[in-house]
Structure 1
């Protein structure tokens, strides 16, 4: 896919941007990672890192004079609307992770002091996890003209990434619930455990609080911190990107 910007006059041919190949490569990498299902936080973090790089590249592109000349006010406002939607997703994810981390700190405190209502805190944490599915509604990316196709594709991979992120945090659809059948049939349970990510693996331990160890909670807290860092980096890139758009206006 060639990334191009059309000048306002349709009589002027489209101009190939010098960073087009690099942006195409980044988009291809993100689309490929979408297709590969992975249940590790490291894979989600890598996708967040790739997304940050992509928005940094787009920011450089729109700050160049040739790009400024090719964007109308309506187009810029459309891009600003899209970027605001992405920032909302970042804030929603950060709030959810912060709530989970707060609950985990309470659980760690009870484990450390060896007193307190562990069952109540575990239930609060699981309720927070369950509410994630309700709080996230997958957005539809806007329709962009051919001249802005790269921005439309970037928005599409961003929405897909956050969809994966919220599914990851709330648990897999197949193994998110401990039904009576899966408790009885050990084969189903083994399958779920094999497919579990860092969140759902700790969830299994929570079902039997006697097996819960401080290391389990600390591991999950570290995973949450990594995701928070990744989302914060994307947020900062998005803010820079928005400032560049506003500067054109």
Structure 2
């Protein structure tokens, strides 16, 4: 799974900088939400919002003089290198998810246009979309596999730096859930995250199945395909 950082509590000062304490509270909430996470759009989208807020807080934390001093210490060199590597992995995951959603959005919008105009090569576009989906699924599976590779735990004496490691871990866990959903995994079939990402209207998690799986299934019978089957209002948040 995603890397985690262990912290030696006996090395910490008795009190944290207010910004560090705020980040610590956010991490606690995220850990709790992850443990209590349910298969619902509201749950995972709330985690997405919390992750965004966490990284905004981390940006403020890293600018503090005390954090800059910790980053410069020789004893923290290996921990800092791991954090930098983790940041690059998270950036890669952001780009992969954004590009994948954009690619699928373009394909669905083209099919939607053909259905609306009632002319064009619907069969060809559907086949193109399904080929693209199969390719993306393989990519998602590779990503999921890489996320599940066990990472060595890195001890860090500085709690502020250790928080960055914990933030990486919870962010990786969320991407694991996201790519699981986007691949159409059965373990995520009850999640309706895409409705939240693609539509402004609120969708009941109890009545909505995985939208990727639903669209893939509808495209198997293109002669009965309707506008409602590929309805998209707007993609936001990730694209």
With normalisation by structure 1, the TM-score equals: 0.68
Corresponding residue of 1:153: 166
| Equivalent position SS for 2:94 | helix
Q: What are structure 2's unaligned runs of at least 5 residues?
A: 1-5, 190-205
What's the CA shift for 1:194? 5.8
C-alpha distance in 2 between matches for 1:43 and 1:212: 31
Is the aligned partner of 1:60 residue 2:64?
no
Equivalent of 2:180 in 157, 167, 178? 167
Which of the two has greater helix per residue?
1
C-alpha distance in 1 between matches for 2:188 and 2:91: 30
> Closer, same or farther in 2 for the Cα pair 1:28/1:209, shift >3 Å?
farther
Corresponding residue of 1:247: none
> Closer, same or farther in 2 for the Cα pair 1:203/1:133, shift >3 Å?
closer
Equivalent of 2:138 in 92, 109, 134? 134
Decide whether the 8 Å contact of 2:108 with 2:129 is kept in 1. Answer: yes
Decide whether the 8 Å contact of 2:30 with 2:170 is kept in 1. Answer: yes
Corresponding residue of 1:237: none
Corresponding residue of 1:38: 39
Q: How many residues align?
A: 203
Corresponding residue of 1:226: 236
Task: Name which structure has the greater RCO, CA cutoff 8 Å, separation 6+.
Answer: 2
Is the aligned partner of 1:89 residue 2:104?
no
Decide whether the 8 Å contact of 1:122 with 1:206 is kept in 2. Answer: yes
C-alpha distance in 2 between matches for 1:50 and 1:63: 20
What does residue range 206-217 of structure 1 map to in structure 2 within 5 Å?
A: 206-217=219-230
C-alpha distance in 2 between matches for 1:129 and 1:32: 33
What's the CA shift for 1:4? 8.5
What's the CA shift for 1:123? 2.5
Q: What are structure 1's unaligned runs of at least 5 residues?
A: 177-192, 230-249
Q: Deviations over 1:186-243 (max 9, x none)?
A: xxxxxxx967222223333323334432233233x63xx13424xxxxxxxxxxxxxx
What's the CA shift for 1:173? 3.1
Decide whether the 8 Å contact of 1:133 with 1:170 is kept in 2. Answer: yes
What's the CA shift for 1:39? 4.4
Task: Calculate the aligned-residue CA RMSD, in Å.
Answer: 3.1
Runs of 4+ with deviation above 4 angstroms: 3-6, 12-15
> Closer, same or farther in 2 for the Cα pair 1:142/1:214, shift >3 Å?
farther
Q: Deviations over 1:20-48 (max 9, x none)?
A: 342233223323333323243x5433322
Decide whether the 8 Å contact of 2:111 with 2:125 is kept in 1. Answer: yes
